Amino acid sequence: MSKLFMGKSFLGKSGPSTEELLNRYLQAVRFWLPRTQQQDIIAELSLDLHSQIEDKETELGRPVDEAELEAILRKCGSPILVASRYRRQTQLIGPALFPIYQFVLKVVLLWILVPVFVVIIGPAIILPATPRWEALLQTWSTFWFALFVAAGIITVIFAILERSEDQFKFFEKWELRSLPPAPKLEQATSRTQTVLSWS
Amino acid sequence: MWYIVCITYCMATGTAASEVFENLRLELRRGCLIVAVLAQLRTEQYGYTLRKALADDGLAIDEGTLYPLLRRLESQGLLASQWREEDKRNKRFYRLLPEGEQILGQLLEEWKSINASLERILQEAGGV
């Protein structure tokens, strides 16, 4: 459909190095783009950059040199950054789900996994074993393995949730009355009073 | 010694303040740019001329922002694009669709109401 536009009129005059540099830049952007859109996006970006170079050359009355070309490309931005703007989903877990992810991670790893190893699995393996230090070492490595596997599984689940359509429905479903009761703290009361006194 | 510490601190906070301003400015501009792009595309244009037209009117937008935005607006059904040859070059021309025109009207209404509210708030705050 679309051909990569490579102007011969201006860059050709300034030698192969500037053309080569521009192609390198476009190639680097292309690498980070979604495969199906690569050709389209690069053709459009290439046309824009060529037009900028052409305008600059008209202004200067001579072909652009390497430094001038670099200035144009630097203004456009780093290839990864330029390509990333074309991607819709750049977050593994977005800001809405992240607090829940953090909470689940903390509960599972710190409040479940660690106590289970310290109170149940650790003593059950280490105490009857001889020599004990060998069992201790083995349990220690198993503990770390379990920790990373659990964290990995939780991350994958949340990454899938992040990409599911039902995520927003989940956030819409909440009942005021089913929220946990607020603790009656001095500080909490005083803050409320402060807010009320402002209004 | 203290003088150097003070100068360094002032420079650091100065940079931080300008960074904060830059981030807020980008946030403020983002929505306005969408309205400007939609309005500008009432007449068909390709990317580079669109960028030049916006810059001439004081709303410069870099290529890394404009093209992804155009793609997004097209995928939302507000714009249509077509590759065509002009001056021996293949160019992608964009134009506003009727759906885009409708959304643009709504956005402009919203923008006017935000502007009016801001004016009121600023007047009240200024005690005028």
Q: Which of A161, A171, A169, A178 is nearest to A101 (CA)?
A: A161
Number of domains comprising chain B: 1
Share of chain B above pLDDT 90, in %: 77
Give domain status of residue B72, yes or no: yes
Global pTM value: 0.72
Q: What is the mean pLDDT of each run of 10 residues along chain A (199 residues)?
A: 41 64 95 92 95 94 92 94 86 89 93 86 80 84 92 94 78 84 68 49
Domain ranges, residue B103: 33-126
| B3 domain-assigned | no
CATH number for the domain spanning B104: value is 1.10.10.10
Tokens in use for A107? 């509960």
B73 and B38 Cβ atoms separated by less than 8 Å: yes
Q: Which of B46, B47, B64 sits opposite A77 (nearest CB)?
A: B64
Contact: B62, A51; criterion CB under 8 Å: no
From CA B26, how far away is CA A130, in angstroms rounded? 65
Q: In this complex, is the C-beta atom of B2 within 8 Å of any C-beta atom belonging to chain A?
A: no
Residue A76 has φ and ψ, to the nearest 5°, of: -65, -35
**Residues of chain A found within 8 Å of residue B91, distances taken between Cβ atoms:** 47
What ipTM was assigned to the predicted interfaces of this complex? 0.78
Q: Is residue B92 part of a domain?
A: yes
pLDDT by residue (tens digit) across A9-50? 444 444 557 889 999 999 999 999 999 999 999 999 999 999
User: Per-residue confidence at B97, pLDDT binned at 50, 70, 90?
Assistant: very high
Pairing of strands B79-86, B45-46: unpaired
DSSP character at residue B127: T
Determine whether the interchain pair B83/A2 forms a contact, defined as Cβ–Cβ distance below 8 Å.
yes
pLDDT(B78) > 70: yes
User: Does residue B13 belong to any structural domain of this protein?
Assistant: no
